[in-house]
């Protein structure tokens, strides 16, 4: 009986993962118990270490085991640039692309009044404090292109309006390798709105 209880408890624990339903949780649990008990032990140890040892970076609010995370303590980033993202996963995606050399601030979510998530829950005051203590010249709003992400970006734009920083938003539009005939109306509209000039339109006098 105790063994059955342990299995059910394992299934319930696995169901806490996003996108994992009862059947998937069951398959995961039985796989670990039948074929990979060593892997299960490693997973348990890694989870225990992460839950007990990982906290938040004092500067960027990203997950970190130290007071300052690897990026904030590197001393090799562009201090003039600060990119605001919703989640640690967003930060990882940008880092893997190698397209940004500045610092970050992780909100750990987005504004969602229906879910009880407001400015206080996202720690906007910490963001303002970080900007005030740094030499940031441009704040890049990298929130997701969703209704909630846009609402968060709009709120931050108003919040930072009186600060001595340039506020920008990540460009949106046709993705690299994309074909126009497959683009939805919103993507095309945004692409036209965010279009950039390739020349000045002036003919050479020579």
What CATH number corresponds to the domain at position 44? 1.10.8.420
Task: Give yes or no: residues 110 and 160 share one domain.
Answer: yes
Residue entry with tokens 């390739």:
198
Q: Any alpha helices (H) in 15-36, and if so which ranges?
A: 22-35
111: pLDDT strictly greater than 90: yes
Residues in the chain: 206
Domain membership of residue 205 (yes or no) is no
Task: Give yes or no: residues 67 and 36 share one domain.
Answer: no
Domain membership of residue 206 (yes or no) is no
Domain membership of residue 199 (yes or no) is no
> What is the model's pLDDT at position 197?
67
Structure tokens at 68: 């300052």
Contact assessment for residue 86 and residue 149, using Cβ atoms and an 8 Å cutoff: yes
* Out of 1-15, 22-36, 53-67, 182-196, least confident range: 182-196
CA dist 79 and 158 (Å) reads 22
Residue 28 belongs to what domain range? Answer: 2-53
Domain membership of residue 72 (yes or no) is yes
Task: Give yes or no: residues 45 and 69 share one domain.
Answer: no
3: pLDDT strictly greater than 60: no
Domain membership of residue 198 (yes or no) is no
Task: Give yes or no: residues 68 and 122 share one domain.
Answer: yes
Task: Give yes or no: residues 75 and 152 share one domain.
Answer: yes
> What is the model's pLDDT at position 203?
61
> What is the model's pLDDT at position 2?
46
> What is the model's pLDDT at position 195?
75
**pLDDT average, residue stretch 1-8:** 74
155: pLDDT strictly greater than 70: yes
Domain membership of residue 94 (yes or no) is yes
> What is the model's pLDDT at position 94?
92
CA dist 103 and 122 (Å) reads 18
Domain membership of residue 196 (yes or no) is no
Contact assessment for residue 85 and residue 104, using Cβ atoms and an 8 Å cutoff: yes
Instruction: Please write the tens of the pLDDT for every residue from 162-180.
Output: 888 999 998 877 777 777 7
Task: Calculate the average pLDDT of the chain.
Answer: 89
Burial, 60: exposed, middle or buried (Cβ in 10 Å; 0-12, 13-18, 19+)?
Answer: buried
Q: How many CA atoms lie within 13 A of 48 on its CB side?
A: 6
Beta bridge partners of 70: none
Residue entry with tokens 């006098």:
205
Task: Give yes or no: residues 106 and 139 share one domain.
Answer: yes
Domain membership of residue 35 (yes or no) is yes
Share of the chain above pLDDT 90, in %: 67
CATH of the domain at 133: 3.40.1360.10
Task: Give yes or no: residues 25 and 127 share one domain.
Answer: no
> What is the model's pLDDT at position 181?
79
First to last CA, the chain: 91
Task: Give yes or no: residues 136 and 170 share one domain.
Answer: yes
Task: Give yes or no: residues 149 and 170 share one domain.
Answer: yes
Total-model pTM: 0.81
Task: Give yes or no: residues 22 and 111 share one domain.
Answer: no
Contact assessment for residue 170 and residue 144, using Cβ atoms and an 8 Å cutoff: no
> What is the model's pLDDT at position 180?
72
Q: Domain tally for the chain?
A: 2
**pLDDT average, residue stretch 9-22:** 95
Task: Give yes or no: residues 28 and 100 share one domain.
Answer: no
34-49 residues labelled b (16+ CB within 10 A) or e (exposed): eeeeeebeeeeeeeee
**Which of 58, 72, 149, 73 lies closest to 104 in space, CA to CA?**
72
Structure tokens at 105: 């601030």
10 Å Cβ neighbour count for 28?
A: 19
Share of the chain above pLDDT 70, in %: 94
53: pLDDT strictly greater than 80: yes
Task: Give yes or no: residues 80 and 155 share one domain.
Answer: yes
């Amino acid at each position: 009986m105790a063994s059955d209880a342990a299995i059910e408890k394992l299934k319930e624990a696995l169901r806490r993962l996003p996108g994992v339903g009862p059947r998937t949780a069951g398959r995961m649990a039985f796989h670990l118990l039948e074929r990979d008990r060593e892997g299960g032990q490693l997973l348990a140890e890694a989870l225990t270490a992460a839950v007990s040892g990982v906290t938040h970076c004092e500067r960027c609010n990203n997950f970190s085991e130290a007071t300052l995370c690897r990026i904030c303590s590197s001393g090799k980033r562009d201090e003039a640039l600060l990119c605001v993202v919703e989640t640690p996963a967003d930060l990882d995606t940008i880092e893997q692309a190698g397209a940004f050399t500045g610092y970050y601030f992780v909100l750990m979510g987005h504004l969602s009044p229906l879910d009880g998530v407001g400015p206080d829950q996202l720690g906007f005051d910490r963001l303002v404090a970080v900007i005030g203590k740094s030499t940031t010249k441009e704040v890049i709003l990298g929130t997701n292109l969703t209704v909630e992400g846009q609402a968060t970006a709009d709120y931050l734009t108003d919040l930072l309006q009186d600060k001595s920083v340039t506020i920008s938003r990540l460009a949106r539009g046709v993705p690299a390798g994309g074909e126009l005939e497959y683009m939805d109306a919103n993507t095309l509209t945004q692409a036209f709105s965010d279009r950039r000039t390739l020349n000045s339109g002036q003919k050479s006098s020579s």
